[in-house]
Structure formats: C-alpha cells, structure tokens
Structure 1
Amino acid sequence: MSALFEPLTLRSLTIPNRIWLSPMCMYSAASEGPETGVATDFHLAHLGSRAAGGAGLVMVEATGVTPEGRISPWDLGLWNERQQEGLARVAALIARHGAVPAIQLAHAGRKAATDKPGRGGAPLTAEQGAWRPVGPSALAFDPEHQVPAELTEAQIAAVVEDFAAAARRALAAGFQVVEVHGAHGYLVHEFLSPVSNHRTDGYGGDFAGRSRLAREVATAVRAVWPADLPVFFRVSATDWLPDAPSWTVEESVLLAKELQAIGVDLVDVSTGGNVPHAKITGEPGYQVPFAERIRRESGLPVNAVGLITDAAQAEAIVAEGRADAVMLGRELLRDPYWPLHAARELGVPRNWPAQYGFAVGPRG
C-alpha cells in the first residue's frame, strides 16, 4: 500500500489521501462594486478540476477577512453574504468530486494594497485605488510599500472577530476545513516576528506577546468551528535570518504546542515571506525538515510544502513520517491530474473521471 494514498482522519473528517492543493492566490476575483471579492467562474473551473484530478483536499486561496486585509483588489473575500454565496458554489463542486473543501482565511497586514503579480505586484498608488495597510508597528515591508498604520488594541480585537465572522461564513458555505493564515509576512506572521513587531504592549516583546494575536485568532476560529471538524494553521517556520532577531523554527515549535492546546489539528508548514530578499535555499523539498521538526517536537500533525515535484519524493515524505500530508502548488498548476498520475506510478488503483476514460484506458 502507498502511504500517500492512505486516508487521514482528523476529528470526524476523513481526507481520502495525503495529496492536497496548496492555497495559491489567483488574483481573479471581482474587484469592483457589490461583486468585490466574489468568486468567479474561473474559481469553479480551477478548483473543481483539481478535485476531479484526485487531490484529497482542495484549499481555496488566501481569502480576506476584511476589505483592507486583501493583498490586492482581486483577492477573494469573505466579509459579506454575497461572497459567501459565491464560495458556496465552489465548496459544493469540490465536494461533489470527492475532495474535502477547505479555505484559508487571511489578513495581508502591511503587505496589502498591491497590484497583481502578473503586472509587477508593486504597491498600488492612490490613483489606482490603494488603501492604507495596517500592521503591528509602523514599519513598511520595504521602501516601496506604504508605512502601515499601527493597530490599536481595540482594532486588534476587531481583527480577531473578523476572522471568527469569516469562519462562520466559511462553515455556512459548506467548507469542512478552515485554515488561519499565519505565514508569508502577512498580518499574523507580522505580529509573530520581531522583525516586523516592535510593540511594547501586550502584543509585542517576548514570545508570549508576539504570539498573542495568533493564539487569539486560533481560539476565536476554533470557538465558532464545529467540534467534529478540523482547524489548520499555516506558519512560516523561519524568517530565514539566522544572524538577526527573527521568527525561528524553535519558536514555531512553541507556537505549535500552544495551538495544539487551543484545538488546532494540523500545522501547515511553509517558510519566509516577512523579509524582502531573504536568502532561501530553494532545493527540492527544502521546507520538509521544518515540517518534520515541528511534527516531532510538538506532536501535532503537519503537512509539508515547497518543491515537492514527483510521486516517489512525496511518497517518501509521508511514508518516513516526515509529514502527514503534502501540499502541492506549482505541480498542480501544471497538471491538475498529478494525483492520478502519481497513483499510476506508485501502482495504486484509482478511477479517472468517467468522462476521460477514452483517453486514459486501462493504464489508469
């Protein structure tokens, strides 16, 4: 039997295999008027095809919990009922193809109000509709980005409730897994890291202060999410700044233990994003050791992500206990049917969608 194709049960939810679609921003939501932040037909085609292609869990991209929490004007949102209705169609289609519908809830913090990456990804100008980003401290991500407004404690409390409200809408839309985005230099990660958090109140300073927002958001989301369904948390395990005060894998392990006590069921382990031009070693599976360490030292299930490209590599990661699942990004962009091809390579019987049987034949 293949470890990669063994089901994984978290709480009462059984995910049919360990190959999951990583949340990746598509910058394809409606960007104006009452449809702002609403999923389009593109999202149905994009996410539905990955579910039909055999992914066990399909996670919707970073979805803004507030308008100012979007990375760009073309991000998905989940702060109103119209956005909920659009995402309900997506969740239903994913489930209809046998995958678990999941969604990542996010606030971009100081990295908000940028253009699409395909147009350079630069911070928007006022003429282009830029809004004022917010953050833990009045520190810009880089010289090109705006200096964010430092959040007050009352505003932080509102952000926590925004995450909880978005989680309620995600549940009503039919999602079975919700993930808090605490990585890649966005708001929750900004609070975690001393690089971006220079506060001197209860949300800054030592690990307990810097991790307070992460714990409060996780607690609020867990409180509104059903007890029989899992909550995930994505973390950047390191800022990749070994010679300066920064967020580290050691603190990521501590955070995982805190999250486990709160009721988080899995840590989605990535790295980086909070420091421009960080020196990252981008070799195959380069983030897997971070996932492995967090799993080993915290006891929480984890998934690994980052340059996982072939079936044998993915199988080994799970079979050797380095992670409980793998998330694929670029590979599933290139090939929506990667899981079915991997099954064939590993000798695991899998049924292709009946509509494609003439193309696949007995090899499938």
Structure 2
Amino acid sequence: MTTEHKSINRAAPVLSYDVNTPSNALPRFAVAPMMDWTDRHCRYFHRQLTRHALLYTEMVVADALIHGDIERHLRFHADEHPLALQLGGSEPEKLIFAAKLAQDWGYDEVNLNVGCPSDRVQSGTFGACLMREPELVARCVEAMKSVVDSPVTVKCRIGVDDQEPRDALFKLAADVFAAGADGLWVHARKAWLKGLSPKENRDIPPLDYEIVRELKRSYSDRFIGLNGGLATLEQAQHEGQGLDGVMLGRAAYHDSDQLRAVDKLFYGDDADSIDDTALCEAMMEHAAAHIAAGGRLHHVTRHMLGLFSGRPGARRYRNVLSVGAVPRDAGPEVIADAFSVMRQQASAA
C-alpha cells in the first residue's frame, strides 16, 4: 500500500446519511461516478474546485479487486475526501471482499452500481439489469453492511426496458432500505438495455424527476438523491428541492468551472474558492508527482479541458493543454502555459 491514500483529510465534512441532522438542510452535492472519467486525477482536480462535494470513483468491478491490481484500482490522494468507491457486482461474497477493501483503504462510502446500461456490464449480470432483481440487490447491500461501518448506498435507474418505473423503483427502494442501505441515488431515466447504446441511454429515455420526489415523500426518513440530465448548479438546486442530494455528471466534467460555486450554494461556505494561480500550482505539483512515478502528463490534463468553458480564451487554453500534453516528455510547464493564455485574455479585456 502506498502512503498516497493513508492520511484522511479531517477538514472535509463528516459524511452522514442521517436526514435528520442539520447538515442536511441543503441537499448534498456530488459529482457522479463516470467510467473512464472520474479517475484519481479527475477527482484531485475537482477537489481543488470544491472542498465539500462528495466525489465518486469510476465503477470498480469486484472481480477486478479479487483478481487484479488492487492498488491501481483503489489508490487515491488524501485530499480527495469525502470520497465514495462505486462497486460493480452481483455476488454477495465478492462484494463483501470488495467492501472490506474499501474500508481498509479509507473510503468514506461504498456505492453499488445498479444503473450502468453498457453491454460489458450486462454481460457480467450487474449494473442496470439488476433493476430486475431487487431481492438480489438487497442481499448484496445486506452483505456489505455486515462488514463495513461506512455508509453503503445504491445508485439506480427508475427502471429498465418495459418495467413500470413506479413498480420497479419503489420495489428496489423498499428492498434495499429494508436491507440497511443508507441512501439511494436515482438516475431519473429508464435504461433501455435492448436497442439503445450506453450513450443513447444518457439522452433518449425521458427524464422523470417527479417520480424521485414521489419516492422521497414515501421515504421521508431516508436519503434520496437525484441524478440525470442536470446541467447547472441552479437547475440542480431547483430540481433537488425536497430531496437530500443532487448529483451532476457530464455537466460537472465538461464545465468544471461551475464547481467553484458548489461550496457556497450547497454548503453555505462563503470562503473564497481557489484562484487560478493556486489552482495552476496545485495541478502542476500533482502532475509532476505523477510523471515522476512513471505517468504521462495527459493522464492529468485531459480532465482539465472544461475548466474555462464558455469564457474568452477557452479554446486556446484547451488547445495548449491538449496538444502540449501529447509528447511523451511533456512536463507540468504545459499547464502553466495554458493558464497563461487565460491571464493574457483577462489582461486584454
């Protein structure tokens, strides 16, 4: 085990799913788990922009921890807290092993994926197809709860294929809460496992935020969070009224600059967000450490391309960052060059 993950950032807010605590007066804000995107470099970058948001890993399949490189899948920087590990799987014994590892490595939450519609996930009999097997999901939750002290949550869809959402979602909620789940994050779309690609499943099935609010009214004492189609913090605040949490995915990734406002809007923290100079220095230091350990600059910088989205100079910033990070010997100075473009634009304004 490396020391990279060992010291927990005690300045981070305590992660609680007790809806009766004052800290839940505002909905919790989270950045969604996204395959190939929310790796440790992405999360470290997002953490520079918000002190309080709950961050999620990419989905890690339980079998990958049993048979693969545990450190590669689980290592993280201490500053990433509060941090949740999302697991994929449907076999309770394997999930027990994975959940124990999550606790040993210091993750603040374990989350079970019951929402991913990809073919790869379906072939492993987990992800969104588990919406059809709520009793199995409940057994998985119960198994993980038996071995960890941290919260165990589920992220699901409102149904799959021809399921009636009200039946599918409410049955899943009843079963997982009876099994001891601490919270349920609901992506407010069906997943069509037959006929739609994973990309199409993010856009084509219609959103139904009201059914999530209806679920919350039925489970007023349980944590219910909303995900799916939320594009801005303002929309998240509006749609999240009466709920316990809101979760942005692609919008937070492609327009990461808006994460600077999360702490004030969702946590009442009026402290100034990080300025560009400090952000540049932090990411250069992080990139330098990664390169020294044998990594490549683009592993870090690919997650930073949406930082100044929509602002004058953003296109040039992205160009400097993406092109400059390609050479194998590219170093952290590329990040400084990209930020310099934005400083020049600000000076010319």
Q: TM-score, normalised by structure 2?
A: 0.62
CA distance in 1, matches of 2:115, 2:206: 18
* Shift, 1:316, TM fit: 1.6
Equivalent residue number for residue 259 of structure 1: 176
Of 120, 129, 144 in structure 2, the residue corresponding to residue 190 of structure 1 is: 129
* 1:173 to 2:105 alignment: yes
Q: 1:284·1:308 contact (CA, 8 Å) conserved in 2? A: no
Equivalent residue number for residue 329 of structure 1: 249
Identity %: 17
How many residues align? The count is 253
Q: 1:92 to 1:82 in 2, by over 3 A?
A: farther
Equivalent residue number for residue 306 of structure 1: 228
* Shift, 1:247, TM fit: 5.5
Q: 2:115·2:157 contact (CA, 8 Å) conserved in 1? A: yes
Equivalent residue number for residue 147 of structure 2: 224
Equivalent residue number for residue 134 of structure 1: none
Of 218, 223, 226 in structure 2, the residue corresponding to residue 297 of structure 1 is: 218
Equivalent residue number for residue 78 of structure 1: 65
Counterpart amino acid of 1:332? A
Q: 1:285·1:305 contact (CA, 8 Å) conserved in 2? A: no
Equivalent residue number for residue 134 of structure 2: 211
**Bigger fraction of residues in helix:** 2
Counterpart amino acid of 1:307? G
Q: 1:284 to 1:325 in 2, by over 3 A?
A: farther
CA distance in 2, matches of 1:86, 1:341: 31
Of 75, 78, 87 in structure 2, the residue corresponding to residue 89 of structure 1 is: 75
CA distance in 2, matches of 1:297, 1:215: 19
* Shift, 1:87, TM fit: 4.6
SS of residue in 2 equivalent to 1:249? helix
Question: How large is the RMSD of aligned CA atoms in angstroms?
Answer: 3.7
* Shift, 1:168, TM fit: 0.6
Q: Which runs of 5+ in 1 are unaligned?
A: 1-5, 28-41, 67-76, 108-155, 194-209
CA distance in 2, matches of 1:215, 1:183: 15
Q: 1:167·1:224 contact (CA, 8 Å) conserved in 2? A: yes
| Per-residue CA distance 1:111-162 (angstroms, 9 max, x = gap) | xxxxxxxxxxxxxxxxxxxxxxxxxxxxxxxxxxxxxxxxxxxxx7xx2211
CA distance in 1, matches of 2:177, 2:76: 29
Q: Which runs of 5+ in 2 are unaligned?
A: 1-12, 282-338, 343-349
Equivalent residue number for residue 48 of structure 1: 44
SS of residue in 2 equivalent to 1:309? coil
Q: 1:62 to 1:275 in 2, by over 3 A?
A: same
Aligned runs of 1:235-246 on 2, under 5 Å?
Answer: 235-239=156-160, 241=162, 246=163
Aligned runs of 1:23-172 on 2, under 5 Å?
Answer: 23-26=33-36, 43-54=39-50, 56-66=53-63, 77-79=64-66, 82-83=69-70, 85-90=71-76, 92-95=78-81, 100-107=82-89, 159-172=91-104
* Shift, 1:268, TM fit: 1.0
* Shift, 1:240, TM fit: 5.0
CA distance in 1, matches of 2:47, 2:75: 14
| Per-residue CA distance 1:56-101 (angstroms, 9 max, x = gap) | 10010111111xxxxxxxxxx3225841x33553152402xxxx11
